[in-house]
Amino acid sequence: MNLQDYLKSLSKDTLDRLYKHPATCLAVFRELPELSRQFILRFLFVNKSIHQVLLASWIPQHDPGRDLGDITTEHRQGTQVLVDMCIWQEVKDHQGNPAITLSNSFRQNLKVAMLGGGQPWTMSSSLDVDPHQRDVEFLDKYAMDRWESVLQFLVQPGRGQTTTAISRDAMRTLLHAGLIESNDEPPDNMQITSAGFQFLLLDTASQVWFFILKYLETVTERGLSLVACLTFLFKLSFSTLGKDYSMEGMDNELLTFLQHLREFGLVYLRKRSSGRFYPTRLALNITAGQNKGSSDVPKHGNLVIETNFRVYAYTTSELQIALLAIFCDIEGRFPNMVVASITRTSVRQALLKGIGAEQIVSFLRQHCHPQMFKQSNAVPRTVADQIKLWENERERLEFTEGVLYKDFMSIHDFSLLSNFASSKGVLIYSDEKQRTMVVTKKGHPAIKMFWKEAQSK
């Protein structure tokens, strides 16, 4: 789910309150499709509604060779996303004709963000020189250490020594997201779910975005304001990496939210009394979610993959080794390297946990050693194709729950019932020689009633 999809799921009242902040309006504007941004710019200095007939004429110039239907679809999608996000409103003019108007709050605050004026909307950075100044390298390491502690807990949630590595808020978010499960209260003996395994193979930017979305679903239960938290996240997206920002003027809600972001690795806060914090790279493009991909998070791949399905991982990270063990057999461990192999059994175990072949190949590609990218295919084609073939093996048979009908007294009775089931679209299998048929469980009551009526006649 990207930012647009998330905002569409919010109520109109919540969106109206969000659009009262310039940071929100600018963040939303920059993530809109190009055509939608053009529409907003045409509206920005128009304070009255515009007829939909005029709006329909705002069709992109027809390029030679481009289908007119595609252009019309692009126009419709560009306008629909604005309506769904309550940026545009459908109204009636004084003559009762359908018209479109731009949200006043969105217009005014987008003007402030783009043209200046009004109250300052960015986070304050008017601070004295920090005696404990943190550079970008430190912030990157801090962010990934904090985030990897969450992932490490997710890989092995049942280990007692890892439960102290993450906060109760992080654990609560993982449970809410369905990435781990527990039958006990309070949570104990937790186990990773199928969704949790799939989550581990995502790139870091997508992981953080998904995690924050699930956290936002529970902010009201924590006594926090969703609008205030979202607005602060939008402000973070406009911050500068390596720069410290003031905590002055933050209420208790925002201070609590800031503390939670610190635990997740999105901001660095040496101590609360310092009065300043540093946004990390994980927070800079948080609102962009999966649109930005993993390029915004520094990655140094460590996997060397051979055509004989052997994998060499040059790492000492327990997390990386645990992730590799999800779909590989670990054959040996050395001080700075792990030797593993991709086998049919190890891949099938991963498939049974809900992980797809494409996810495995994508994970291998994301974590390849830089030397592997000098080849035409970072992941050898023989390895990628074989993993997909092992997945296809499990899809040769399709299981459907049904009800068996057999032991018909005559071929006439069998044909009567089989034809009726086929006409209703509930027939799964039919064998005239054996006088056997299988119908769907949902269609069984109708077939049973039809048979009783036929018998009574």
Closest CA to 204 of 103, 95, 280: 280
Q: How far apart are the first and last CA of the chain?
A: 57
Query: Residue 201: its pLDDT value, please?
Result: 78
Distance (Å, rounded) from C-alpha 41 to C-alpha 313?
A: 50
Query: Residue 162: its pLDDT value, please?
Result: 44
Q: Which residue has the tokens 């997909």?
A: 388
Cβ 352 vs Cβ 346: under 8 Å: no
Low-confidence ranges of the chain (pLDDT < 70): 1, 60-68, 118, 121, 124-126, 157-165, 183-189, 287-300
Tell me whether strands 245-246 and 98-102 are parallel, antiparallel or unpaired: unpaired
Closest CA to 163 of 141, 195, 136, 186: 186
Cβ 301 vs Cβ 370: under 8 Å: yes
SS3 for the chain is CCHHHHHHCCCHHHHHHHCCCHHHHHHHHHCCCHHHHHHHHHHCCCCCCEEHHHHHCCCCCCCCCCCHHHHHHHHHHHHHHHHHCCCEEEEECCCCCEEEEECHHHHHHHHHHHHCCCCCCCCCCCCCCCCCCCCHHHHHHHHHHHHHHHHHHHHCCCCHHHCCCCCHHHHHHHHHCCCEECCCCCCCCCEECHHHHHHHCCCHHHHHHHHHHHHHCCCCCCCCCHHHHHHHHHHHCCCCCCCCEECCCCCHHHHHHHHHHHHHCCEECCCHHHCEEEECHHHHCHHHHHHCHHHHCCCCCCEEECCCCEEEECCCCHHHHHHHCCCCEEEEEECCEEEEECCHHHHHHHHHCCCCHHHHHHHHHHCECHHHHHCCCCCCHHHHHHHHHHHHHCCCCCCCCEEEECCCCCHHHHHHHHHHHHHHCCEEEEECCCCEEEEECCCHHHHHHHHHHHHHC
Domain 3-115, architecture per CATH? Orthogonal Bundle (1.10)
131: preceding bond cis by omega (within 30 degrees): no
* Residues in contact with 234: Cβ distance below 8 Å, sequence separation at least 6, in sequence order: 21, 23, 24, 26, 27, 287
Distance (Å, rounded) from C-alpha 141 to C-alpha 96?
A: 60
State the burial class of residue 137 (Cβ atoms within 10 Å of its Cβ: 0-12, 13-18, 19+): exposed
Distance (Å, rounded) from C-alpha 287 to C-alpha 35?
A: 20
Q: What's the fold here for domain 402-456?
A: Alpha-Beta Plaits (3.30.70)
Distance (Å, rounded) from C-alpha 414 to C-alpha 213?
A: 55
DSSP β-bridge partners for residue 329: 341
DSSP β-bridge partners for residue 91: 99
SS3 for 280-291 is CHHHHCHHHHHH
Q: Where are the domains of the chain?
A: 3-115, 136-294, 303-393, 402-456
Query: Residue 333: its pLDDT value, please?
Result: 92
Q: What is the pTM of this model?
A: 0.70
Q: Which residue has the tokens 């300043």?
A: 276
Tell me whether strands 402-405 and 337-341 are parallel, antiparallel or unpaired: unpaired
Instruction: Output phi, psi for 101, to 5 deg.
Output: -135, 150
Torsion angle defined by CA atoms of residues 166, 167, 170 and 172, in that order, rounded to the nearest 10 degrees: 120
Query: Residue 183: its pLDDT value, please?
Result: 64
